[in-house]
Amino acid sequence: MAQAQGTGSGPAGDRSLAGLVGRAFGRLGRFGGLVFLLAGVVLSGWGAYEGAYAAGWAGTRGTLTVQQCEVGYPSNAARSSRKNRRPVRCEGTFVSEDGKSTDAHAAVQVRKRYAAGTELAVQQTEPLTAADAADAEYLQSGMDRAWRWFGAFFGGWVLTGLGVFCLATGLAPFGQSRISFDAAWEAAGRGATRLVVVGMIGVGLVGAGGSFLVSYFF
């Protein structure tokens, strides 16, 4: 009897070990859910922010007349590599749509080079801090880009919905889980969790797919 207690063997010891393992995997599942939830919130926020500027709903709308474009290369990459043709930085003069704001030292990150004299539709996201400063920030605008960012916004809903599901049920989104998906799904159905998760993932998938599809028509 004393020997069994000292070694911790037997049914009681097995149940204790199983309980520790179960609690560890439960915490792992909820931690993974938290990661998914935070990633989804960040992705949705980023997509909404960039999309609003690309669509011209935020910032100051105007035109940047290109003077020159330069390609930035990583310091450890060959300039001939096809994978390192971006980002491209185009510099020129910005004039707001209402003509009240100008910036002779404007610059914007784009996906390809443009010839000198090309007029790019841009949004000024951060205005000049002084008349002679060169610290304004710009984003290239256009509804095709806006819809792609909106696709990212809705994609974040999918990750958020998965995060809510894992947080509520303890299901680990990766690796071994202490509970099965069927058990987690059944547990989620006892309250409003399943409805929330299905709604978020459904809206996210439809919204992301629709946004990327619409972007090809602009």
Q: Which of 27-41, 86-100, 113-127, 186-200 has the lowest mean pLDDT?
A: 27-41
Q: Residue 129's pLDDT is what?
A: 79
Q: Which own/partner contact pairs does 69-73 have at CB distance under 8 Å and 24+ positions apart?
A: 69/110, 69/113, 69/114, 71/113
Share of the chain above pLDDT 70, in %: 77
Q: Residue 49's pLDDT is what?
A: 94
pLDDT category at 82 given cuts 50, 70, 90 is very low
Task: Give the residues across from 122 on adjacent strands.
Answer: 62, 140
Q: Residue 80's pLDDT is what?
A: 47
CA distance 123 to 29: 42
CA distance 169 to 151: 28
In angstroms, the Cα distances linking 26 to 23, 38, 105, 167, 209 are: 5, 18, 55, 9, 33
- Compute the average pLDDT of residues 56-67: 94
Q: Residue 68's pLDDT is what?
A: 95
CA distance 19 to 26: 10
pLDDT category at 171 given cuts 50, 70, 90 is confident
DSSP-derived letter for residue 111 is: S
Q: Which residues of 5-44 are buried (b: 16+ CB within 10 A; e: fewer)?
A: eeeeeeeeeeeeeeeeeeeebbebbbebbeebbeebeebb
Closest CA to 173 of 16, 22, 28: 28
Model's pTM, two decimal places?
0.71
Q: Is 19 helix (H, G, I), strand (E, B) or coil?
A: helix
- pLDDT (tens digit, 9 = 90+) per residue, 105-153? 999 999 889 999 999 999 999 888 776 677 899 999 999 999 999 999 9
